[in-house]
């Protein structure tokens, strides 16, 4: 039985002081997390020390929105997976569509980042997803599975708990448009089948596959009903305590 994961990606929002207020309010409202649900917050790099301090001992995990493909060195502006892990982070997002689109990150670079995350003891949240024109042309599954293969080239997680895959259709991120529950389930099932080919059936059965893309309380329960959807990578709805808390409760069946 896979434990649902609800991960809030704050993107480039909130100052350290705003983050501190959010964490305290969220923990006060959350109390004990619903049984069998994991919660993680993914703030920008300057906020990670605040997350480490405020979430310590709470059971709520945190992680980075990106890590470098390099362990150390003269790479101005980069943040290594080792630096993130040393703060106590559990996760690192790699291959988010905004990184792929705005920074032209190819899947080969995403694979290198995932490898660095694993070597540092972090669990990569590997994002894949198709643009609208591919979806409309009927090539979404083939496109996403090819992206997954290339993003995992040379990557050996070692166990299903060391990898999370997030399906984020590019056309649904921040647009208000959402894939139907059937779309999300179809893609999640296809991703799991591909992981079985790559790492074996037992590995694929244990890996969590998330959906991301304009998730909100009004649509999350239906998306979670898919047998292969194990939670959500949440953008805008994670910025407000009330909406993110509701998503967590929904994942817990409440």
Catalytic sites, residue numbers: 96, 168
Residue 238: other Cβ atoms inside 10 A = 26
Coil, strand or helix at 41: strand
| Residues contacting residue 69 through CB under 8 Å, at least 6 positions apart | 109, 112, 113, 116
Determine contact, residues 67/122, Cβ cutoff 8 Å: yes
Please give the DSSP secondary-structure letter assigned to residue 251.
H
Distance CA 197, CA 34 (A): 33
Q: Encoding tokens for residue 250? A: 């929904």
Residue 196: other Cβ atoms inside 10 A = 15
Coil, strand or helix at 94: strand
Intra-chain end-to-end CA distance of the chain, in Å: 18
Query: For tokens 């999640």, what's the residue?
Result: 188
Determine contact, residues 111/151, Cβ cutoff 8 Å: yes
């Amino acid at each position: 039985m896979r434990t649902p994961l609800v991960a809030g990606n704050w993107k480039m929002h909130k100052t350290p002081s705003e983050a501190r207020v959010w964490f305290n309010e969220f923990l006060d409202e959350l109390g004990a997390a619903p049984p069998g649900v994991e919660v993680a917050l993914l703030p920008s790099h300057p906020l990670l020390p605040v997350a480490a301090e405020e979430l310590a001992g709470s059971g709520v995990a945190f992680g980075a929105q990106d890590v470098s493909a390099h362990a150390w060195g003269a790479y101005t502006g980069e943040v290594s997976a080792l630096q993130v892990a040393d703060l106590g982070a559990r996760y690192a997002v790699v291959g988010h569509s905004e990184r792929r689109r705005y920074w032209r990150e190819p899947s080969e670079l995403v694979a290198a980042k995932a490898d660095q995350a694993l070597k540092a003891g972090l669990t990569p949240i590997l994002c894949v997803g198709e643009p609208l024109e591919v979806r409309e042309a009927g090539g979404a599954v083939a496109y996403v599975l090819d992206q997954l293969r290339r993003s995992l080239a040379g990557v050996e997680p070692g166990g299903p708990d060391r990898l999370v895959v997030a399906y984020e259709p590019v056309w649904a991120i921040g647009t208000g448009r959402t894939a139907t529950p059937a779309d999300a389930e179809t893609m999640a099932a296809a991703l799991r089948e591909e992981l079985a080919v790559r790492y074996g059936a037992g590995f694929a059965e244990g890996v969590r596959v998330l959906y991301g893309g304009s998730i909100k309380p009004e649509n999350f329960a239906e998306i979670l009903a898919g047998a292969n959807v194990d939670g959500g990578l949440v953008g805008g709805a994670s910025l407000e305590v009330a909406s993110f808390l509701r998503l967590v409760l929904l994942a817990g069946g409440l």
